[in-house]
Chain A
């Protein structure tokens, strides 16, 4: 379970780590948005340079990011294959039964692969350099305007951070229940898919019962410590934009401007 890199935080003190979580979130969203308009080698090359630069600034080895890509390899492959066979156009390069591979299809498949990879890498940079609670705080701060239309942003952010806090605990518990059942002869890794799926049921039931018990205990503990509602609380961690956030925003702006320039000139 420890090889899941998506959303994992790696502690550090790099330039990217020290950025305000809101900055990282905004830059990531801007980047993903801009990527939707990438359509030529020039724009892809520029985006790749931007991502590589950001990765270097996190001071983490490339291998970590490579591990982050692995779980979604099949998803990327699936979309690539779809693009490869289902893009109409000429010239046709290859006939495979009723399907055909066209030259625009090949080009599209490569583009999609690059786009996917870059977007995943960019989001990995954010989650890898930001503790989960900071992400929850950033969301609360960025979504604050939604309070006006009565979206309970503070409640949602608190729920998110409590849920994140219980992830390692529930992982441990899953492992314990699995071990307890394995020691009594249960196997989770043999048999066909149906047999394996059925083996999950006796695992889920104690896990759910345990989680509910924890939730009740936690509710008591929160109530005793004066919790009334999430909206009227003061904040211990206050988010502040600093000089380096300005630098990050300017860097992103320059990237977007060059991107538009390339896009217009049609390279």
Chain B
């Protein structure tokens, strides 16, 4: 398997304090990785380092084998899309279509190819009927789906969602999660997803969960492995999802991590 991202011996200081000191992580192409940690654990900083919005003090970051440097940063950004936390602060265009077009205009796509790319991207996130709407008439979840479409239109190999659901209501959050699952089903190994979150239900959808705290890697594994380490999670200021908390207290545990509905069914097979 090819590596999408390799981080080697990364150091980064913030306010004269070491946030990262010799941090290593690699992400396989096509993987869905959830990066979790409490506020200030360094997870958002890591995302900004990967796309070169901030510069590390030491160590290397490789994206699909290409080393991140001042010269390569534009090439690397062309392969990575990023959705940020605040839905309003990343909406550049005056309408949904204009916002998706913004990135296409930047990469100097010919004007006559734009409508098709915009339609495709909006269709993927289920926003095709909102093309001419203005941002203030959309809900937070809809704006984030547009942000996702804006990124998708550029055809990235990696998408990083930096707390993209943190400011949304439960309904908006659910639509984003469904959209991500659809994306993964549609693009498969072509798309590497990194979701940065402190919502464990969200993290449970990923193939792999990476827990970081104070710039150190605490846990790394599939959701069922990570959620079985309930004490370590608590020590690092993280709550397990309800199903995880319950599983941790069971004497006889299911073989793999089960979400709430699956766990109910496992505990009482007659209960559908």
How many residues in A have their beta carbons less than 8 Å from beta carbons of B? 30
Interface contact B105-A223, CB-CB below 8 Å: no
Interface contact B53-A221, CB-CB below 8 Å: no
**CB-contact partner of A164 in B84, B94, B107, under 8 A:** B94
Interface contact B111-A227, CB-CB below 8 Å: no
Q: Chain A: which residue is nearest B90 at the CB level?
A: A221
Set of chain B residues within 8 Å of A226, measured between Cβ atoms: 74, 77-78, 103, 106-107, 154
Q: How big is chain B's contact interface, by range?
A: 35 or more
Interface contact A236-B94, CB-CB below 8 Å: no
Interface contact B97-A236, CB-CB below 8 Å: yes
Cα of A209 to Cα of B253 in the assembled complex, Å:
51
Q: Chain A: which residue is nearest B136 at the CB level?
A: A168
Cα of A234 to Cα of B108 in the assembled complex, Å:
5
Set of chain B residues within 8 Å of A218, measured between Cβ atoms: 89-90, 92
**CB-contact partner of A221 in B84, B105, B110, B114, under 8 A:** B84
Interface contact A224-B53, CB-CB below 8 Å: yes
Q: B135 within 8 Å of A by Cβ?
A: yes
Q: A132 within 8 Å of B by Cβ?
A: yes
Encoded as 1 (CB less than 8 Å from any B CB) or 0, chain A from 205 to 249 comes to: 000000001100110111111111000111111100000000000
Q: By DSSP majority rule, is chain A's interface helix, strand, loop, or mixed?
A: helix
Q: Which of B43-85 contact A (CB under 8 A)?
A: 48, 51, 53, 74, 77-78, 80-82, 84
Closest CB in chain B relative to A18 CB, distance in Å: 15
Set of chain A residues within 8 Å of B93, measured between Cβ atoms: 133, 165
Q: B88 within 8 Å of A by Cβ?
A: yes
Q: A162 within 8 Å of B by Cβ?
A: yes
**CB-contact partner of B77 in A164, A169, A224, A234, under 8 A:** A224
Interface contact B114-A236, CB-CB below 8 Å: yes
Interface contact B94-A161, CB-CB below 8 Å: yes
Closest CB in chain A relative to B263 CB, distance in Å: 38
Closest CB in chain B relative to A52 CB, distance in Å: 31
Encoded as 1 (CB less than 8 Å from any B CB) or 0, chain A from 109 to 143 comes to: 00000000000000000000001110000000000
Residues of A within 8 A of B (CB): 131-133, 161-162, 164-165, 168-169, 172, 213-214, 217-218, 220-228, 232-238
- Identify the 9 closest CB pairs spanning chains A and B, nearest first: A236-B101, A217-B89, A221-B90, A226-B106, A225-B103, A133-B94, A233-B105, A224-B82, A168-B136
Q: Can you list 28 A-B pairs with a CB-CB distance of less than 8 A?
A: A133-B93, A133-B98, A164-B94, A165-B92, A165-B93, A172-B136, A214-B89, A217-B89, A218-B90, A221-B84, A221-B89, A221-B90, A224-B53, A225-B92, A226-B77, A226-B106, A226-B154, A227-B102, A228-B74, A234-B105, A234-B109, A235-B111, A236-B97, A236-B98, A236-B101, A236-B104, A236-B111, A237-B98
